[in-house]
Amino acid sequence: MNYSEITPYIKELAALSDASNHIAPEMYAQHDVKRGLRDINGNGVVAGLTEVSHIKAKEIDAEGNAVPCAGQLYYRGVNVRSLVKGFVADNRPGFEETVYLLLFSKLPTKDELDAFCEQLSLYRSLPPSFVRDMILKAPGKDMMNILSRSVLALYAYDDNPDDISTANILRQCLQLIAEFPLLAVYGYQSFQHYHNGQSLFIHYPKKELNTAENLLYILREDGQYTPLEAELLDLALVLHAEHGGGNNSTFTTHVVTSSGTDTYSAISAALGSLKGPRHGGANIKVMQMFDDMKASINTKDKDAVKDYLVRLLDKQAFDKAGLIYGMGHAVYSLSDPRATVFRGFVEKLSKEKGLTKDYQLCSTIERLAPEIIARERKIYKGVSANIDFYSGFIYNMLGLPKELFTPIFAISRIAGWSAHRMEELLLNGKIIRPAYQNISPRAPYIPLDERK
């Protein structure tokens, strides 16, 4: 039997399944149900309270109306722009400081930060034989699945996996934050070796390196990287670390945590959410779109770029999905603060890598796309470049394999997930159980021999 075969009978059942769904999109408005937990204006339905982060995309004018404003993102009340400005001015990494802030709601002193980094360094290892038994012996083709499987496997190596006391949950979260780069990169190395026939090498992390530096060190065969490369990857980790409690993977963390389950199950569920192309895989789509554009048109011709963007929206170019990837956001309208912070650093890296032409194309698309979208689509708010528009470009310039784009997102976002898991458990609230409104008609039971 072919395990993956879709047989004629399965196809028949699939057709029956398709025909059995009679819910039309307009029914949501008829029954006043917020589809996707969002109202007609795209605002999320409030499902809880959080102190972890805040997104600001609107402000109240003198007449009391909510109007779009330049996007702002706050981690525990601290503006991310200020956070980045602080550690960049000091010429030091910021991810570890960001993790501390998200978990403990305060900026660490130098001594506190040093002690915290030392603890993460101690946790930056895997159980004996874990790489051999759980990663190399079962190589996979999808890095997010390997990462999720590895997280679940760590449950078996934990002497107290189901203890949900604050100390134990914190210990588990810190270990996962430290281990995620190893799990992701080693999973990629096994994929490269067993599926692509590449040489296998496993670098152990160095105690003196931070998260971004270690990620580059263990990923590259020669272990080499420039200070700017490490700085940009560290910045990417900071900007992806958290983004409000309402994004899909963070909400998943809250929902699964509210059941009282273990940390490994909750984080694995969040990884499953992040894997989806509507959530964590968007930056890959951005780079694929760029590649298709460069192969299809003369990107130096502004009119040709305009025409390509129109054809994207008309489902006549690239993947024919009708989207300009990297443009627009569920909350932000005038600007995504993370993309704004990224922009200047992207230009700096493009010069180091000799890719200024690619950066110029990036800038052209960022300028033209909102105008074209506003003209071709009926939209309820403004459109601007989001973080995926730039993060994919940065990862590509860093020479990071596309297979690791979403896992790197996870390496960062595990910080936010951990903060939200801690918050959910400390609240000791009820299990999250949303309601669905049933609209199917009642039907009589028909005896088996009378059915047609």
CB 153 within 8 A of CB 133: no
**Torsional sign, CA 104, 107, 111, 117:** positive
The tokens for 90 are 């000091």
User: Looking at 234, 336, 388, 420, which residue is catalytic?
Assistant: 388
Pairwise CA distance, residues 19 & 197, whole Å = 44
With a CB cutoff of 8 Å and minimum separation 6, the contacts of 265 are 152, 155, 256
SS3 124: coil
Q: What is the CA 68 to chain-centroid distance, rounded?
A: 24
The answer to whether the beta carbons of residues 380 and 42 sit under 8 Å apart is: yes
Which of 249, 120, 233 minimizes the C-alpha distance to 179?
Answer: 120
Judged on CB neighbours under 10 Å (0-12, 13-18, 19+), 28 is middle
Residues 131 and 202 sit within 8 Å (Cβ to Cβ): yes
Inter-helix orientation angle 80-89/337-352, to 10°: 30
* Cross-sheet strand order for the sheet of 66-75: 53-60, 66-75, 78-79
Dihedral (C-alpha) 82, 86, 88, 91: value to the nearest 10 degrees?
Answer: 180
Q: Is residue 329 flagged as an active site residue? A: yes
Q: Which contacts of 293-302 are long-range, i.e. CB under 8 A and separated by 24 or more positions?
A: 293/318, 293/361, 294/361, 299/361, 299/364, 302/364, 302/368
Exposed e or buried b per residue across 199-210, where buried means at least 16 C-beta atoms within 10 angstroms of its C-beta: eeeebebeeebb
- The DSSP 8-state label assigned to residue 108 in this structure reads P
13: Cβ contacts below 8 Å, ≥ 6 apart: none
Report how far residue 389's alpha carbon sits from residue 393's, in angstroms, rounded to the nearest whole number: 7
Q: 55 - beta bridge partners?
A: 73
Q: Which residues contact 254 (CB under 8 A, 6 or more apart)?
A: 48, 245, 420, 421, 424, 432
Q: Which of 142, 279, 292, 307 is catalytic?
A: 279
Query: Is 388 designated active site?
Result: yes
The backbone region for 37, taken as left when phi is positive above 0, alpha when psi lies in -120 to 50, beta otherwise, is left
Catalytic residue among 329, 336, 358, 420: 329
Q: Which residues are catalytic?
A: 279, 329, 388
